[in-house]
């Protein structure tokens, strides 16, 4: 069976729309609102008849209507369309959003480039977790349980001593838009022993801490019995016990990055 996720799994169901008879002034005001969208599907009795963006409105007369400036030859998606096919359409057409319609052309949702990115993130992380789980089983001969849950950032033990400041900016951007991957954590806690070790996501955690986020979604790997975890030894050797122990360094200070002066 084809396991490819479909557009309907990731589309936004509640969609703001405009009418062909709406004035350019009214729609411009809605786009210019603090959380306003970049554009609207144009619907008449529920049927999609076009799409209007801020760019369409720029040169329009104040007295014009949406019908006069909208694009009426637009691409739409079927809810059963594979998400990867929607991604190709969005990329090749240089658009940000695809209205999703039923067989009668009625609007039932919208799929954006952000939704597509989120779908790929949600597919990639479980594969990463599965590979790490299999490795731990092969190395230590123990059964592994996997959970997905919220974890307290204050409870995490980091396993790398440094992160790069410039990369933190990208992670903050992703967090603010709901695009960050879940963390990958190994839970070896057994009474007072063991800990909640951060295996993947140090930049995300530091960025979240800067934003005042206290909890994050994580895939948690739980060995059935205590194991001698290599990353736990690394954390102990580097005296890492909390995220406050992780240093932020500038990318330009990386040992493999040289300045133009150094190269002369």
pTM attached to this predicted model: 0.58
Give CA–CA dist 262/264, Å, rounded.
Answer: 6
CATH 3.90.1530.10 fits 142-250, yes or no: yes
The 10s digit of each residue's pLDDT in 65-99 is 999 999 988 899 999 998 888 888 887 787 888 99
The residues spanned by each domain of the chain are 7-115, 142-250
Residue from 180, 120, 191 nearest 153 by CA? 180
Residues 163-212: tens digit of each pLDDT:
888 788 878 888 887 777 889 999 998 767 778 999 999 999 999 999 99
Beta strands at 97-101 and 47-53: parallel, antiparallel or unpaired? unpaired
> Of the ranges 18-27, 121-130, 166-175, 217-226, which one carries the lowest mean pLDDT score?
121-130
Q: How far is CA 181 from CA 168, 205, 238, 258, in A?
A: 14, 11, 26, 31
- E-strand stretches of the chain: 39-44, 47-53, 97-101, 107-112, 144-152, 156-157, 162-164, 183-187, 196-200, 215-223, 247-249
CATH hierarchy code of domain 7-115: 3.10.580.10
Position 10 scores a pLDDT of: 87
* Dihedral sign from CA coordinates of 69, 71, 72, 73: positive
Task: Tell me the C-alpha to C-alpha distance, in Å, between residue 249 and each of 166, 187, 252.
Answer: 9, 28, 8
Do the domains spanning 7-115 and 142-250 agree at the CATH topology level?
no
């Amino acid at each position: 069976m084809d396991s490819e996720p479909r557009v309907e799994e990731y589309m936004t169901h509640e969609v703001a729309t405009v009418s062909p008879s709406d004035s350019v002034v009214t729609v411009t005001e809605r786009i210019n609102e603090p959380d306003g969208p970049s554009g609207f599907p144009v619907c008449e009795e529920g049927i999609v008849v076009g799409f209007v963006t801020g760019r369409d409105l720029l040169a329009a007369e104040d007295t014009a209507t949406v019908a006069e400036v909208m694009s009426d030859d637009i691409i739409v998606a079927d809810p059963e369309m594979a998400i990867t096919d929607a991604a190709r359409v969005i990329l090749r057409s240089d658009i940000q959003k695809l209205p999703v319609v039923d067989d009668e052309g009625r609007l039932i949702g919208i799929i954006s480039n952000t939704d597509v990115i989120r779908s790929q993130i949600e597919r990639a992380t479980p594969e990463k977790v599965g590979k790490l789980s299999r490795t731990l089983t092969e190395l230590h001969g123990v059964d592994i349980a996997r959970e997905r849950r919220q974890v307290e950032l204050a409870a995490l033990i980091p396993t790398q001593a440094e992160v790069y400041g410039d990369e933190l900016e990208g992670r903050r951007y992703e967090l603010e838009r709901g695009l960050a991957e879940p963390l990958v954590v190994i839970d070896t806690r057994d009474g007072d022993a063991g800990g909640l070790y951060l295996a993947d996501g140090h930049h995300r955690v530091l960025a979240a801490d800067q934003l005042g986020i206290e909890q994050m979604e994580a895939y948690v790997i739980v060995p059935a019995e205590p194991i001698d975890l290599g990353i736990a030894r690394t954390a102990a050797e580097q005296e890492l016990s909390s995220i406050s122990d992780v240093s932020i360094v500038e990318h330009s200070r990386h040992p493999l990055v040289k300045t133009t002066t150094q190269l002369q």
